[in-house]
Amino acid sequence: MRRLTATERHPVRFTLNGKPAEGTAHPRMLLSDFLRGVQGATGTHVGCEHGVCGACTVRIDGAMARSCLTFAVQIEGAEIDTVEALAPAPARLSVLQDAFRKHHALQCGFCTPGILMSLDTLLATESQADAERIRDVLSGHLCRCTGYQPIVAAALDAAQTLREETDNA
């Protein structure tokens, strides 16, 4: 048993986008604020801060999760992936990101990092995901610009491209 007191900052060691990372946090610091404020990884956006909008979605140990409903001290030893990890190289987009651009699946872009993290996780684990499954995962996100249709189109397009890449590999 370890007790981390409310008034002090405590070290948190974890893996961020494949690289070892560490920082300090009060127990009450949310993972979303820890990523943005302490780690400087501002790709993750903060919207509602009570688990409804999905903008802050990241990957924790391979599963999509709300970073505003997790405390930084809870991720000790965990593997965290954020939207910064998606692009394979500077100035290059991932297949999913490229499909978002092609299909105009974003306008203001506020909800996009969270949606990308959810859909990237989905397509990595379920390459056969159809429109219904994509909508099921998308239900955990709010987008006020697009009306969702272009996002579904982009995800279906990316899924097909990824399947073709695997088939031709």
Partner 1 sequence: MKPAAFDYVRCETLDEACEVIAQTGDDARILAGGQSLVAMMNMRLATPAVLVDVMPAPDARKVAAENGTLKIFAAVRQASLLDDPDLTWRNPLLARMLPWVGHPQTRARGTICGSVAHADPSAEIPLALAALDGKVILRRGRKRRSVKATDFFLGMMLTDKADDEMIEAVTFADVQQGTGTGFAEFGRRKGDFAIVACAALVSPMRVRFAVGGVNDTPFVRDWDNLSPQDDAEALNALAWSLDARGDLHATARYRRDLVRHLGAQALKEARSCAV
Greatest alpha-carbon pair distance for the chain in Å reads 56
Give 30 or 159: the residue with its C-beta nearer to partner 1: 30
Angle at alpha carbon of residue 89, lines to 36 and 43, rounded to 5°? 15
Task: In whole angstroms, give the CA distance from residue 33 to residue 46.
Answer: 8
| Nearest-approach distance from CB 34 to partner 1, in angstroms | 12
| Nearest-approach distance from CB 163 to partner 1, in angstroms | 21
Task: In whole angstroms, give the CA distance from residue 132 to residue 11.
Answer: 42
Give 43 or 93: the residue with its C-beta nearer to partner 1: 43
Position of tokens 């099921």? 136
| Nearest-approach distance from CB 92 to partner 1, in angstroms | 27
| Nearest-approach distance from CB 60 to partner 1, in angstroms | 8
Give 23 or 54: the residue with its C-beta nearer to partner 1: 54
Give 63 or 169: the residue with its C-beta nearer to partner 1: 63
Give 58 or 153: the residue with its C-beta nearer to partner 1: 58
| Nearest-approach distance from CB 116 to partner 1, in angstroms | 13
Query: Distance between the two ends of the chain, CA-based, in angstroms?
Result: 48
User: Residues in the chain, how many?
Assistant: 169
Binding site for partner 1 (CB under 8 A): 1-7, 26-28, 30, 33, 48-51, 54, 57, 60, 63-66, 68-71, 73-74, 76, 118, 122, 136-137, 139-140
User: Is 81 in contact with 31 (CB distance < 8 Å)?
Assistant: no
User: Is 122 in contact with 152 (CB distance < 8 Å)?
Assistant: no
Task: In whole angstroms, give the CA distance from residue 85 to residue 94.
Answer: 10
